[in-house]
Amino acid sequence: MYSEPSECSDEDSLPTREIPMSNEVSETSNWASTETALEAALVALDLQGSIIHELRGKVAALDNDISHLTALFKDNFPTCDAAGQAITLSKQQIFDTAAKLESAAISAKRTKIWGSFPKFNSPLQATETLLRSLTAPSLHKPIGASWLMSKAKKTKVSILITFNSESMVADALAQTETLKRACNLVRGVSPDKPLHTQKYSRRSTRGSPKSYWCMNLDAR
């Protein structure tokens, strides 16, 4: 006798186990790696932010130190501030200074003979005639001469004479009394001065350059 196989229902059968696909496993692994990388990046950014904040504090402190040192130098070393101001001279100031130096150099070689010169037509002729009475032969040959005319009276009041050197001006000034004795129309001899060095009283314009003007420039 043999036993008949019993019929098995679906409820009695063992459930089938599902095996996950390989691509699902790969996606899960990739997401975990990405999440880890993001967390690491956030930590790094936070660290960099802290470093930047610290550096900004150090830079601000350094700026304060520099400002303090600059003020200290200006207070205790005035020459440093003066040197800085000298360096900032404008071009116009440099040009003005050069013009003044040039004017001073020209005036240093000039002298003025004050007096009345009615019989002379040429300032150079008058100059040579007057200087012949002096003991210095080199003074007899000036470079040039011109009349200084009074604007008010339109008369000759002085001769502006230009020499080759400053030493000739000194010789002419040294012989002023000799020149006055030789010509009673001569009142005196004076050196020429640059306009920027001349000072005049507010109450009187006598001797002011605005009171005179040059004419009949004679030059060799």
pLDDT of residue 71: 66
Q: What amino acid is encoded at 140 in this protein?
A: H
Give the distance, in angstroms, between the CA of residue 12 and the centroid of all CA atoms in the same chain.
107
Q: Which residue has the tokens 């059968």?
A: 13
For the chain, the structural domain boundaries read: 25-88, 107-219
How far is it, in rounded angstroms, from Cα 94 to Cα 215? 31
Question: Rounded mean pLDDT of 159-175?
Answer: 89
Fold that domain 107-219 belongs to in CATH: Alpha-Beta Plaits (3.30.70)
- Higher per-residue confidence, 110 vs 118: 110
- Higher per-residue confidence, 125 vs 23: 125
Question: Rounded mean pLDDT of 176-187?
Answer: 87
Q: What amino acid is encoded at 133 in this protein?
A: S
In the predicted structure, residue 17 carries a pLDDT above the cut 60: no
Burial pattern 84-116, b for ≥16 Cβ within 10 A else e, equals: eeeeeeeeeeeeeeeeeeebeeebbbbbbbebe
Residues 6+ apart with CB under 8 A from 154: none
Provide the whole-model pTM: 0.49
In the predicted structure, residue 126 carries a pLDDT above the cut 80: yes
Q: Which residue has the tokens 């050069």?
A: 98
